[in-house]
Structure 1
Amino acid sequence: MSEQEQTLSLVDVLQEDQELQEEASAVLAGSDAEHCSYPQGYVKRQALYACNTCTPKGGQAAGVCLACSYKCHEGHDLFELYTKRNFRCDCGNGKFADTRCQLFRDKDEVNQLNKYSHNFFGEYCTCRRPYPDPEDQVEDQMIQCVLCEDWLHGRHLGCALPDGAELHEMICQSCMEANDVLWAYVAPPARSAGASPDRAGRKRSHGDEGAPPPPCRLKGLGAGGRPPGAVFWPPGWRSRLCRCRPCQGRLSEAGLSFLPDESDTVLAYERKGEREEAATPARDPLMSALSNLDRVRQLEIIHGYNDMKSELKDFLQTFAAEGKVVTSEDIRDFFERQQSRKRRRADNSFHCA
């Protein structure tokens, strides 16, 4: 490994940390970290976890909400499931032998409408491998299917990833093959010159109650193409789904009635979380952790934390002043010196008169 690969600028470190915080915030901010979501019923979309400690492979699949992952399963082996739709927290129900929910006790034995997959046992994609996979050295991104909500490796989708794939929604090959109704929307033929693109999709105003229902869009589309592999759908594709009664009935029969709902998307969930976080005063994680300690221990830890923070700031400023990069070895040396100093202070305390 070259010296350049071993070093990072301070700006790089801070930027990576900020990106990780924003990514985590986008998923977690839309879910309640303090209260079990069970009383809300089958939540439209929420962050979920599966506990490999309480419900290991070979048992029944179960999922727990964000708050329960913190309170009821602290220190357990958890699988992060990102988000899933229409799910009710299982924590402490009949699928758990010993664990009882500490946040909400009166729960049904089973949540009959929950849907489960191999994800709940830490397996993903058609290859059913863990993520991250210690035996897989190939750099690849994982993409979530809109319908089954499984995560698939890009190389296992059976198609090329489009430019700006992160802006598209993906439906995997298995889900496309199981839902013929969707193929009519894939690569439809061009509209005739006289067609009005907004007529069928416009929203009704308050004065349109007596207007006839919108015409069926599928009649003008015909049979769509059937390319191999997964299908990537461009931004706004859900708004183009037909809203006529027969088509809505077909989506409902296929269990896809959520598709025309723009707020169902993960992007909409993340934006909701960002808005809620922006409206909530920031909580200092240190002060939250200290809240259960007595006043003397609080002051001791706060002073130690402030001393370390001040010393780290002075340490990094020397690199910034000289225009040097900070290596992992530099950071390791700094914290080793901190530990050594702490041990010396502890040793001296035993010999005081």
Structure 2
Amino acid sequence: MSEISVKEYVRRQEELEDEANEMMPYDPSHCTYSMGAIRQPIFACRTCNSIGVCYSCSIQCHSTCDLVELFDKRNFSCDCGTEKQCDNGSEFKPCNIRKNTTQDIADMGNRYGQNFKGLFCSCHTEYDPNTTVTMLQCVLGLECNEDWYHDHCILGIEKNPDTSTGDRKPPGFPDLSSFDGFISWVCIDKYSSIFEKLLSHERSDKIVAHKVYRKLPSNQNDLTSDCDIAKKRRLEEAEDSSGSYSLFLKEGYREEFKQLRDDLPEGDPIKSFLTHTAPFLTHDEKVYEPPKEEEQGSLLELGEHALAKSLSHQQTLASLVAFQQIKSKLTDFLRPFAENDTVVSESDIKNFFDTQKK
């Protein structure tokens, strides 16, 4: 487009700045390696041995790499510039923020799973940013490493290929507004005895919003003979009492878990689980956020800052005077266009700068 009004130009620039601030709202100059294992946003770098790196390193050190956003991970230390980055024999790359000259020691407590390869859910597929399928992260994550699951995989059914309707929720899946947390069947199967005791406790009604069973594996769903069909029916009838299931937790479930823990006697398995194995279920987990990006000012101010860093004092003063003069003249030149809400053409701007050269 060769013509555009000044007001429209300013509006578009403000929209671009707002979009940039929304995408990268934090100051990317603080690597979290020295903070140790914390809950923080993590990015997997598939270029550098599929290591997990913090927000700042994803920008400062791996901006040209193949990155996968993993969102929050519990008890994770940034592995940028550590031995983990090089343990496949690749060349050592220091962290551009820490400026380490040798490989730092990797945190052996970091848990690596399929997410760091860019794969998610029990179907082991890459995330599709264009999908309309709901994905939920397991809030327990002790067995599945806080994986994300598709709604149809939670139910154990095939994905519905018809996405033409506005309602994409598969039959049997709870309304998103009816729960505040999700625990996958993968983690529940690992701690099945604990969850059976939990569900039989009178307080479970204040914690659990939905108990959703998974359907039979596809090889059982495909049974076709009369004998097989009868077997399948028996398995389906027994499913409600013995099958794998996921739990959807009510709003305020953490406070209810805390009350349950405090009310139980010492030695109770549920109390021990909530105290030592999964204490994070009883309180809101603090998630580290990098410092907010400071207001950077206009492009002119950024240019002034850059000049001040690269030129001598005398050169800087002369350049800033020239900047201010051209800024004042350009403002005066554009004012009539803005006041009359008229367009300023490319030739108008070209003529203005040609005049300044004389």
Same fold (TM over 0.5): yes
Select 1:143's aligned residue among 136, 139, 150: 136
Q: What SS class does the counterpart of residue 272 from structure 2 fall into?
A: helix
Select 2:37's aligned residue among 42, 49, 61: 42
1:162 corresponds in structure 2 to: 175
CA displacement, residues 68-104 of structure 1 (integer Å, 9 cap, x when unaligned):
1122223222111111111011111113323211223
TM-score by length of 2: 0.56
1:124 corresponds in structure 2 to: 120
Instruction: Please say if 1:238 is aligned against 2:254.
Output: yes
1:102 corresponds in structure 2 to: 96
Amino acid at match of 2:138: C
How many residues end up aligned between the 2 structures?
267
TM-score by length of 1: 0.57
**Is there any run of 5+ residues in structure 1 with no aligned partner, and where?**
1-10, 56-60, 192-216, 320-333
Specify the structure having the higher radius of gyration (Cα). 2
CA RMSD of aligned residues (A): 5.0
Instruction: Please say if 1:259 is aligned against 2:285.
Output: no
Counterparts in 2 of 1:19 and 1:141: CA distance versus 1, 3 Å: farther
CA distance in 2: counterparts of 1:236 and 1:87, whole angstroms: 26
CA distance in 2: counterparts of 1:63 and 1:114, whole angstroms: 9
Counterparts in 2 of 1:238 and 1:87: CA distance versus 1, 3 Å: same
Within 5 Å, give how 1:1-353 maps onto structure 2.
Answer: 25=25, 33-43=28-38, 45-55=39-49, 61-94=50-83, 95-96=85-86, 97-98=90-91, 99-104=93-98, 105=100, 108-132=104-128, 138-146=131-139, 147=141, 148-158=145-155, 160-164=173-177, 168-180=180-192, 181-186=194-199, 227-229=212-214, 230-241=246-257, 242-243=260-261, 244=264, 245-246=266-267, 247-251=270-274, 255-262=277-284, 264=285, 269=287, 277=292, 282-284=295-297, 286=299, 291-292=305-306, 294=310
- How much has 1:33 moved relative to structure 2? 2.7
Counterparts in 2 of 1:231 and 1:281: CA distance versus 1, 3 Å: same
Asked if the contact 1:248–1:257 (Cα under 8 Å) also holds between the matched residues in 2, the reply is no
Amino acid at match of 2:95: C
Counterparts in 2 of 1:70 and 1:22: CA distance versus 1, 3 Å: closer
Counterparts in 2 of 1:34 and 1:20: CA distance versus 1, 3 Å: closer
Asked if the contact 1:52–1:76 (Cα under 8 Å) also holds between the matched residues in 2, the reply is yes
Q: What SS class does the counterpart of residue 232 from structure 1 fall into?
A: strand
1:196 corresponds in structure 2 to: none
Percent identical across equivalent pairs? 25
- How much has 1:15 moved relative to structure 2? 9.7
CA displacement, residues 284-314 of structure 1 (integer Å, 9 cap, x when unaligned):
48556985455659x87xx89xx89x99xx8
Amino acid at match of 1:161: P
Asked if the contact 1:183–1:226 (Cα under 8 Å) also holds between the matched residues in 2, the reply is no
Asked if the contact 2:211–2:247 (Cα under 8 Å) also holds between the matched residues in 1, the reply is no
- How much has 1:227 moved relative to structure 2? 3.8
Counterparts in 2 of 1:102 and 1:163: CA distance versus 1, 3 Å: closer
Q: What SS class does the counterpart of residue 248 from structure 2 fall into?
A: strand
**Is there any run of 5+ residues in structure 2 with no aligned partner, and where?**
1-10, 156-171, 215-245, 311-315
Counterparts in 2 of 1:17 and 1:34: CA distance versus 1, 3 Å: closer
Query: Which moves more between the two structures, 139-148 or 34-43?
Result: 139-148
Amino acid at match of 2:180: H
CA distance in 1: counterparts of 2:282 and 2:154, whole angstroms: 24
1:200 corresponds in structure 2 to: none
Asked if the contact 1:162–1:232 (Cα under 8 Å) also holds between the matched residues in 2, the reply is no
- How much has 1:155 moved relative to structure 2? 2.3
1:208 corresponds in structure 2 to: none
